[in-house]
Amino acid sequence: MAGDDERDRGGWWPGEETAEPERRGRDRPRGLASPERPRPGGRYAAFVGIAFIVVIAIALVNLLNTEDVGIELEQGRPLAEFAVPDALVPSAADADANIAQDDCESSRNPCPEDDRRTPACEITAPGAIRVCDLFDRPLAISFWFTRGGDCLPSQDAFDSAARRYAGRVNFLSINVRDDPETVAGIVRERGWRVPVGLDRDGAVSNLYRVGVCPTIVLAYPGGIVDDTAIRAGNYDAAGIDGLVDGLLAASRRRAATVR
């Protein structure tokens, strides 16, 4: 679906460098001092101020820009298509994600021949993971990053579930904005077998409006949204199994109703 020219470019494989979203500052409310209570000491006030700044900084880094660029992950809607470089393929580590949904870089219709591009699910670059290739079964996509929290235990549980449900459910792990060498090292050190894609510039997480780690997107066969699981803490094995069992049950119900 075409939008304005800049918004609908969708990225390339390998892609142009995408600038970090501009960070918008916020004026802190001053409040009113109460004459009945002593004012906090200077050191305490400074500590509170620093803590506030740290919290806001983490939120700004991890809560990616979602103004009119993401999709609504509503049940029954198709997942947005994307392709990401495989974290364990060195030749793909410098590539950006491709989130092009169609073959036109322009908003003009019909698309001019000189504005053609390759949609995410039609690229053939070595080391690319295309989400559409995982639509043949129920699908679980886990988004994670290392800044501002420890999401690795959830990814351990996610990888473990991928092994238990192999052949019944497809799993894909997406790292957001971490250094490619760091991500590859984590995957090897922890022995993950689940495919791990690199969202180096945050294009996919922007598209899916990911701001919390872990975020797990669940989809029926065919790439249709079932649910999105967002959690402030980590998932254990039982928690992931519960999500996947729920997805399998929902997929069976859906298949029975569409026959």
Q: pLDDT band for position 43 (50/70/90)?
A: low
From residue 256, alpha-carbon distances to 4, 165, 245, 250 in Å are 40, 21, 17, 10
Q: How confident is the model at residue 1 (pLDDT cuts 50, 70, 90)?
A: very low
CATH pick for 83-258 out of 3.40.30.10, 3.40.50.800, 3.30.360.10, 3.30.499.10: 3.40.30.10
Six-digit token string for 211? 């701001």
Predicted local confidence at residue 68, as pLDDT: 37
Give the residue with greater pLDDT, 31 vs 15.
15
Taking only the tens place, the pLDDT of each residue in 125-169 is 999 999 999 999 999 999 999 987 789 999 999 999 999 999 999
- Measure Cα distances from 190 to 91, 112, 194, 257 in Å: 22, 48, 11, 41
- What is the arithmetic mean of pLDDT over 25-36? 38
Q: Which residues contact 58 (CB under 8 A, 6 or more apart)?
A: 147, 148
* Cα angle, residue 97 at apex, residues 212 and 120 outer, rounded to 5°: 115
How many CB atoms are closer than 10 A to CB 127?
A: 19
Binned at pLDDT 50, 70 and 90, residue 25 comes out as very low
Residues 62-112 pLDDT 10s:
443 433 345 557 889 999 999 999 999 999 889 999 999 999 998 888 889
pLDDT of residue 42: 55
* R_g (Cα) of the chain, nearest Å: 21
Q: What's the pLDDT score for residue 71?
A: 56
**pLDDT of 198:** 98
- In this prediction, residues 182-194 reach a mean pLDDT of 98
Number of Cβ atoms within 10 Å of the Cβ of 222 = 17
For residue 78, what are the β-bridge partners?
224
**164 and 193 Cβ atoms separated by less than 8 Å:** no
What single DSSP character describes residue 13?
Answer: S
Torsion angles phi and psi, residue 98, rounded to 5: -110, 120
pLDDT tens per residue across span 195-204? 999 999 999 9
Q: Are 61 and 147 in contact (CB under 8 A)?
A: yes
pLDDT at 243 over 60: yes
Q: Is the pLDDT of residue 48 over 70?
A: no
